[in-house]
Amino acid sequence: MTAIHWFRRDLRLADNPALLAAAADGRDVVPLYVLDDALLARSGPPRRAYLLRSLRALDDATGGRLVVRRGAPTEVLPEVARQVAADEVHVASSYEPAGRRRDEQVRTALEAAGAALVETGSPYAVAPGRLRTGGGTPFQVFTPFRTAWLAHGWRAPATGPAPRWAQGVRSDGLPDEPALDDLDLPDAGEAAARERWAAMLDDGLAGYADDRNRPDLHATSRLSPALKWGEIHPRTLLADLARSRSDGAAAFRSELAWREFHADVLFHHPTASWQSLREVAPDDSWVTAEREAAALEVWAAGRTGYPFVDAGMRQLRAEGWMHGRLRMVTASFLIKDLHVAWQRGAAHFMRWLVDGDVPQNQLNWQWVAGTGRDAAPYFRVFNPVTQGRTLDPDGTYVRRWVPELRGIPGAAVHEPWKLPRAAAPDYPERVVDHAEERKVALDAHARRSR
Ligand SMILES: Cc1cc2nc3c(=O)[nH]c(=O)nc-3n(C[C@H](O)[C@H](O)[C@H](O)COP(=O)(O)OP(=O)(O)OC[C@H]3O[C@@H](n4cnc5c(N)ncnc54)[C@H](O)[C@@H]3O)c2cc1C
């Protein structure tokens, strides 16, 4: 007997309930990944390259048995099921809108071929949609969601015998990586994720509660790409966190709860991936198309003249990853200082982030924009100078990413315009005045609220 395990966002062998379900009753398992060009086209080179590296690691972990097929899942899955005489295709459920649509189409195509799509587990500790308020409605606000999420709890990590891989199934192999120029991506794959988590438990968790907003300190786990691709499951992390009563463990659990909250909000409001959940500024408050293109260009290149913003944007271009606080500061700058709608910035992030993930990216952008369900109020405008001075007090982070400013010592690096031009002759002038643009944004909001 043979079953297919269709890997999607669960690129790991450990703690994988869907894989165990495929291998149950002594079945041989075909470990399958479908490279769907339509989906790949939407990812930028960093995320495509990271995915290919993660698949290579998965192939190694299966002893070279990973079967890669190129094509549309609705065609590939019935075809492979027929070829290997499998009547079950096992998956972890998808919850984001495009994944749900795809899975319904695949289910129908498989049924026509005499096979079933069997769903077990999800990329979350608690499946999106499961938790409800006392009144039976979806949660709108994070804190009560987290309380209900903690009270609900989650299963222990799944364990079972190693699967027996089916032999001799043709694979198209993995394509070459896209050109990455100078990009330095984080290590991909399950083993790298486990190592990163072990290091976090050993010496990261203790300082996490205090230092997680400090980009100069490397104080966060950098597990977001691993969680995005399912190289490690949040259940595994939560089981380890349960052994600690520290503030760091509680703070980390809370961040994982945000991840689950966003997935839950998107499950109930599928249009939130592109539409504001509420309008906070009138339509005419955004820049014209022509000025928008220029604004996006300087922002994306890290040449706004605000060092903290520019450092974040340059980290993104160099690593395909950006510290979480910088994601907030750079997003706020695009929306409230440059008056560009959040969807444009979210699209840029999705193109460049190796952890680019529809629920997390789009709902976090809505949080910053003030348009989300439980969002920062619109009048919370991040000040790029005070954020920099507080969270990068010695300017180390800025100097790491903005070479033109390396000659300026200490916190003065956050306001180069106060120094003689010769201190940083190659660094751009500020494109806007933050105080003025903040006022423009707040006025627009006030007009909308009237
Ligand atoms: C504008 C914007 C866009 C974002 N886009 C993404 C994205 O595409 N993919 C993504 O995974 N995260 C996104 N985030 C959330 C967050 O910034 C990253 O998950 C986090 O910075 C990743 O670094 P880390 O793994 O070191 O985090 P840690 O501080 O170590 O946190 C541990 C884990 O908790 C989760 N987490 C932490 N903060 C958040 C948060 N605000 N929302 C949801 N989950 C969180 C992540 O899974 C993270 O890996 C975005 C945030 C903002 C403000």
Asked if CATH classification 3.40.50.620 holds for the domain at 2-122, the reply, yes or no, is: yes
Nearest CA to ligand 1 atom 46: 224
Residue 214 C-beta-side C-alpha neighbours within 13 Å: 16
What is the rounded distance in angstroms from the CA atom of residue 248 to the CA atom of residue 204? Answer: 8
Question: Does 332 contact ligand 1 (Cβ within 6 A)?
Answer: no
d(CA 287, CA 26): 61
82 carries a ligand binding annotation = no
Task: Identify each DSSP E strand in 92-141 by its residue range.
Answer: 116-119
- Reply yes or no on whether the pLDDT at 39 is more than 90: no
Question: Ligand 1 mean position to 324 CA, how many Å?
Answer: 6
* Contacts for 2 with CB less than 8 Å, ≥ 6 apart: 27, 28, 29, 30, 84, 85, 86, 166
Number of Cβ within 10 Å of residue 422's Cβ equals 7
pLDDT at 44 (0 to 100): 87
Cα distance between residue 264 and residue 145, in whole Å? 9
- Taking phi over 0 as left and psi of -120 to 50 as alpha, with beta for the rest, 71 belongs to left
Average pLDDT over residues 50-70: 97
The CATH number that domain 123-156+190-268 falls under is: 1.25.40.80
Domain 283-449 of CATH type 1.10.579.10: yes
Task: Give me ligand 1 centre to Cα 366, in Å.
Answer: 14
Residue 262 has a pLDDT of 97
- DSSP H helical ranges for 216-303: 224-229, 234-241, 247-268, 289-301
Distance from the first to the final alpha carbon of the chain:
67
Q: Where are the domains of the chain?
A: 2-122, 123-156+190-268, 283-449
Q: What is the pLDDT of residue 379?
A: 82
Q: Is 2-122's fold the same as 123-156+190-268's?
A: no
pLDDT score at 281 = 85
Tell me what pLDDT residue 380 has: 87
Does residue 328 line the site of ligand 1, with CB under 6 A?
yes
80 lines ligand 1 (CB under 6 A): no
State which amino acid sits at residue 397.
Y
Residue 375 scores a pLDDT above 90: no
Q: What confidence category does residue 125 fall into, taking pLDDT thresholds of 50, 70 and 90?
A: very high
